[in-house]
Amino acid sequence: MNVVGITTSTADRKRRAGQRIVMGLAGPRVTEEERRLIEEVRPGGFVLFGRNVEEPRQVLELNRELASLLPAEVPPIRTVDQEGGRVQRVREPATRWPPMRHVGNVADLDLTREVGAAIAREVRALGFDLDFAPVADVDSNPKNPVIGDRSFGSESGAVARHVWAFIHGMQDEGCIACAKHFPGHGDTSVDSHLDLPVVEKDPPDIDETELPPFEAAIRAGVGSVMTAHVLFPTLDEDRPATMSARIVRAILRERFAYRGVIFSDDMEMKAVRGRYPLELQLAEASLAGVDSFLFCKEPELVLDGFEILVHLQEADKQQEDAAIDSVRRWNTLRERFLKDPPPRPELSVLGCREHADLALLVSARGAQS
């Protein structure tokens, strides 16, 4: 027994391993293969994409079904990327939000907070608990192929203020926010979906540009943070941030004293997939402080990840302790947001006049700034 009162049976190790996985689905309905996988893995959460969406009622029913497949006392956290702009998994009749660059251009923090709250209402109406937003990256590289107008802007202090306001708006409505991609994906010229980006900056420059929005997110009480599959050689010359104790543990956990849930970015992205063995990725990320791993599409990878996370606990007491800590943070997040949430909005809130007018206002004012 590692800790008084905490058992270390195979069943407990499997339970902890499953809780650390957020899995995607192939289509708009749960397949029999996916049902069997869910029954075996018992994931801590699910993530839906455009391929899972037909119309709002179907998304809501899918989220309800996913919750029904797991024990009510440990409900899954159902997640989505609903940022606005080009990253919006559920579109019409949901409100088509402008990119967050337009929100940042308006330079009105009350308006930013309203946008965060409105997006949260629509996300929760669809049955989601967590939105992987806001982007806390600073758009400091005009050659960046993946961030661009997803960021609130190119000036770190302004981005930090908008991140703070957006998180308050979202979480006040009962939706868990996620600040991404720590410690920053804004100064890259490579898309981590396709290759491993490298940011050649000295630590003082990183402190001045990349980190303030994440500090602001933590001050705002953000429920979760997502790591970047990005290499920062002056911080860790060997490992991308997701796998780096020098970045995740030393900065996010220790320096910033962040105690919430940390997600990896998708483990299927080519910045890490095939570049490092999956066991090494999960082992190093776990010890760095990452709690939950996204496996967004491939069921074989979900099962591989699950089995590795079980094995790591069996082989290494540090890994088991890390798993225990991660599940504790997951449960604290559930306690905070799922135990006594505000009522879920009706589907009629999607694309409602209030939200449509807000989106038009932001587009008109933000596009002209």
Catalytic residue numbers read: 193, 265
Query: Who's near 325: CB < 8 A, 6+ residues apart?
Result: 291
Structure tokens at 286: 């776990």
At 243, the amino acid letter reads M
Residue 127 carries which DSSP code?
T
User: At which residue do the structure tokens 């587009």 appear?
Assistant: 363
User: At which residue do the structure tokens 């050689």 appear?
Assistant: 233
> Torsions phi, psi of 144, nearest 5?
-65, 125
User: Do you know the residue count of the chain?
Assistant: 369
> Torsions phi, psi of 92, nearest 5?
-50, 140
What DSSP line would sit under 186-233, residue for residue? TT-SS-TTTS--B----HHHHHHHTSHHHHHHHHTT-SEEEE---B-T
Report how far residue 290's alpha carbon sits from residue 262's, in angstroms, rounded to the nearest whole number. 5
